[in-house]
Structure 1
Amino acid sequence: MTTANTTGTTMLADGVRAEAAIDLSALNGNLTALRERVQHADLMAVVKADGYGHGALPCALEALAAGVRWIGTATPEEALALRAAGIGPDRARILCWLWTPGGPFAAALRSQLDISVSGQWALDELLAAVRETGIPARVHLKADTGLGRNGAQPHDWPDLVDAALRAQAAGQLDVVGIWSHFAAADEPGHPSIQAQLDAFDTALAYAERAGVRPEVRHIANSPATLTLPHAHYDLVRTGLAMYGVSPIPELGAPADFGLRPVMSLSARLALVKQVPGGHGVSYGHRYHTPGETTLGLVPVGYADGIPRHGSSAGPVQIAGKWYTVAGRVAMDQFVVDLGGDTPGIGEEVLLFGNGERGEPTAEDWAMACGTIAYEIVTRIGARVPRRYHGASQG
């Protein structure tokens, strides 16, 4: 049975070791807020990495309920899974962009996926799949405008565009998109931002002079969606922001951008015990109790996605009070020094949430671990069950 506290926030059900509660109403609200911010562009809901740890399919379905018609994944396997789950081409365009040689190009064509092409090898394999299936491809050509990852370099761009146009003239594909990705949009004012926009405009200009008439041009990720309206073009790709986590915490918390965190991570105290001063705690005894105290055992660890870098640093809330991880995070559990407090066995431990109960947030964990909030939410493992509530369609 699931209970609720006085704020209406759902809490752990009886017998549950730990769970990640996913508030789909918050996701819907975030997407609505983001769409209002980009009124002259479409919005893509990015659900790669299992929806940044939130669950790709439930989040994609909620995005559709919110009126989104573009879905983004990294790998083709992620996109094919969404199609297999019933998100057909009549419901959403799905773009996948991280291809490797021998990838499932034929399956992607049969599933009517949008396919990113960053180099000649990928175009060659895609065209072989087109000949095999007889199905023309929908292609987004990616330009490397300065990130240095995927995408064609400026000196290779004309050849890639020209080869794609020859295939288009032969009826083998349609170039429906031109796109790129920022390196430092989360650092407003960084000189690379304007340099990349200039490079993107140059790539677009060549493609359009050559005869490409794309449906969508897109370069904006979550931080650019929030801070660079001139980079919105025809489509923006929102990842972290749609899950209610600020991609630019130096500029503002989620609420400052009209966003609300979607995931709350909780566990139950498995043990509370009194120990003497000087007692070593967890592997390596990197923590010793400063005096007689109580210790609480939290039954989640790095196998569940709790960062080991959170050792002696990660914050939790128990019975309305903050505590810090004592000693090393182990594979399945960690310990907190309760300072003499004696909460009950089975008491809820809030690792992070939306902050409305005064609990830590994913950003608090990111700061404690010296990382980014993207990693905190994305790494929560499959051993932690997800519980969904607030869905628009039940």
Structure 2
Amino acid sequence: MNETAPLRARAEIDLAALRANVRTLRAHAPSAAVMAVVKSDAYGHGAVPCARAALEAGATWLGTATPEEALALRTAGVPGRVMCWLWTPGGPWREAVEADLDVSVSGMWALREAVAAAEAAGVPARVQLKADTGLGRSGCQPADWPELVAEALRAEAGGRIRITGLWSHFACADEPGHPSVAAQLALFREMVAYAEERGVRPEVRHIANSPATLTLPESHFDLVRTGIAVYGISPSPEIGTPADFGLRPVMTLSASLALVKHVPGGHGVSYGHHYVTPGPTTLGLIPVGYADGIPRHASGTGPVLVGGKWRTVAGRVAMDQFVVDLGGDEPPPGSEAVLFGPGDRGEPTAEDWARAAGTIAYEIVTRIGTRVPRVHVNRDQDG
């Protein structure tokens, strides 16, 4: 793809910024290895190029939610340790074992499927046991931990699995001082100690996500799992901006202005006429909508930089387009409309859109749809 060609819309992904973010995260956790989480197509940024850039910058692990995501990395030739954790019965366990993936096990059914896959593949499965220390999603409850550990050790003794990791996940690490953080960390230490006392020798122990990596050094253990921070977005705007943490947003979302026209005062705009022009003005048509991931909840509030000025979504966001009131300005059709980016040029950020839509910046970048091409720039590693 021509990186400078005019497009209806484009999400420019700055891989130099991503590499710099990974190096910053390594500095925040100097005693731990770094996992770059590239689930959900690298939070909407493009999994394969982002995975390669993260490895170039010193990440030594990659993480995905689903096994299909992890297998796609292997199909693309991405090397290194890759872990996937969101399994359902009947999943591609054998394919994962044969692809040398680390698979997460939270209960006995999953351990049985991993063992069966290893027997079918003829090679041991790399298994990480997940402890539920208080998040209440996946993970093994403390009461069931002894049974899972014992069965996993039996499978390891039989050569069918290798227990490569012990791990858990925080519920409230983005709220420093929340009592659950210390409680989960203490319980994780107990569950790790129990497993190790019985003979588990994991390659990695890990519980830290992006906010814990940045704010909770005692949680770093052997590995930190960094997701949203890799992409330069603060995991907790209340405690710091990206710049406060030394991070730079990686995605810039822009569109080409499709139409500029004069309208009189009292003119309704978009479905439902929730916006009516207060006087004669110019309207600009932005050719992206909720089918492209622009949140409909940002109708009337979403910010856009057009012609050097912040504009606001006028009326409802439609499926393929929305309108901004240009206040009499007349930028030519084809002019750039920047929805969000790092903010260097005065443009809004993903966090600005999150506030406008009543959500979090994670969702803003991840939801950008497949109709918007990802244009990866700065592919060559910087010095």
**2:33 alignment counterpart:** 42
1:192-215 deviation line (CA, Å, top 9, x unaligned): 100100110111111011111111
Shift of 1:131: 1.4
Cα RMSD (Å) of the superposition?
1.2
The reply to whether residue 84 of structure 1 matches residue 75 of structure 2 is yes
Structure-2 separation of matches of 1:259 and 1:109: 35
Q: State the SS of the aligned residue for 1:155.
A: helix
Secondary structure at 1:68 match in 2: coil
AA aligned to 1:17 is R
Kept after mapping to 2: 8 A contact 1:65/1:392: no
Matched residue, 1:60: 51
Secondary structure, aligned partner of 2:55: helix
Q: Which runs of 4+ in 1 moved over 2 A?
A: 12-15
Question: Is 1:122 aligned with 2:110?
Answer: yes
Q: Report what 1:261 is aligned to.
A: 249
- Contact 1:71 1:93 (C-alpha < 8 Å) held by counterparts: yes
Query: Residue in 1 aligned with 2:215?
Result: 227
* 1:186 pairs with one of 174, 181, 184: 174
2: CA distance between counterparts of 1:105 and 1:271? 51
State how far apart, in whole Å, the 1-side matches of 2:5 and 2:196 are.
Answer: 60
- Give SS of 2:187's match: helix
Identity of aligned residues (%): 69
Q: CA deviation at 1:13?
A: 3.6
Q: Deviations over 1:67-96 (max 9, x none)?
A: 2210000000000000010123xxx10000
| Counterpart residue identity of residue 233, structure 2 | V
Q: 2:231 touches 2:250 (CA, 8 Å); kept in 1?
A: yes
Equivalent residue number for residue 163 of structure 1: 151
Distance 1:137 1:331 in 2: 45
Matches within 5 A, 1:198-277: 198-277=186-265
SS at match of 2:128: strand
> Structure 1 CA distance, aligned partners of 2:222 and 2:116?
30
**Counterparts in 2 of 1:392 and 1:15: CA distance versus 1, 3 Å:** closer
Confirm whether residue 331 of structure 1 aligns to residue 322 of structure 2. no
**Which runs of 5 or more residues in structure 2 are unaligned?**
none
8 A contact 1:297–1:335 mirrored in 2: yes
Rounded to whole Å, the distance in 2 between the matches of 1:157 and 1:341 is 65
Equivalent AA in structure 1 for residue 59 of structure 2: V
| Offset of residue 393 of structure 1 | 4.8
> Is 2:300 the partner of 1:312?
yes
> Letter of the aligned partner of 2:17 in structure 1?
A
The question of whether the paired residues in 1 share the 8 Å contact of 2:130 and 2:166 is answered with: yes
Give the TM-score normalised by structure 1. Answer: 0.95
Partner amino acid, structure 2, of 1:163: E
- Which of 25, 29, 42 aligns to 2:20? It is 29
Q: Is 2:116 the partner of 1:147?
A: no
1:218–1:233 contact (8 Å) kept in structure 2: yes
Separation in structure 1 between the aligned mates of residue 29 and residue 4 of structure 2, nearest angstrom: 39
Q: Distance in 2 between matches of 1:191 and 1:290?
A: 50
Q: Distance in 1 between matches of 2:334 and 2:33?
A: 46
The CA distance in 1 between the partners of 2:324 and 2:237, in whole Å, is: 27
Question: What secondary structure sits across from 1:367 in the alignment?
Answer: helix
Q: Distance in 2 between matches of 1:157 and 1:93?
A: 25
SS in 2 for 1:212: coil
Secondary structure of 1:45's match? strand
The CA distance in 1 between the partners of 2:166 and 2:280, in whole Å, is 64
Q: Could you report, residue by residue, the CA deviation over 1:6-40 in whole angstroms, capped at 9, with x for unpaired residues? A: xxxxxx84441100000000000000111011110
- Aligned partners of 1:183 and 1:251: how far apart in 2? 16
Corresponding residue number in structure 2 for 1:377: 365
Letter in 2 for 1:159: E
Q: Distance in 2 between matches of 1:14 and 1:296?
A: 21
In the alignment of these two chains, the number of paired residues is 382
Q: Aligned letter for 1:85?
A: A
| Worse-superposed segment, 126-135 or 215-224 | 126-135
Q: Give the deviation of 1:189 after TM superposition.
A: 0.7
Deviation, 1:392, is: 2.9
Q: What CA distance in whole angstroms lies between the structure 2 residues aligned with 1:72 and 1:376?
A: 20
Q: Does the residue aligned with 1:16 lie in a helix, a strand or coil?
A: coil
Q: Among 13, 20, 36, which residue is 2:11 paired with?
A: 20
Cα distance in structure 1, aligned partners of 2:12 and 2:117: 41
- Aligned letter for 1:233? F
- Per-residue CA deviations over 1:34-79 (Å, capped at 9, x if unaligned) read 1011110000000000000000000000011112210000000000
- Secondary structure of 1:129's aligned partner: helix
Equivalent pair of 2:16/2:381 in contact (CA under 8 Å): no
1:348-393 Cα distance to aligned partner (Å, 9 max, x none): 0000000000100000000110000000000001100011111235
Paired letter, 2:106: S
SS of 1:332's equivalent? coil
- Whether 2:124 is the aligned partner of 1:136: answer yes
2:63 corresponds in structure 1 to: 72
Q: Indicate the residue corresponding to 1:362 in structure 2.
A: 350
- Local SS of the residue matching 2:143: coil
CA distance in 1, matches of 2:372, 2:75: 24
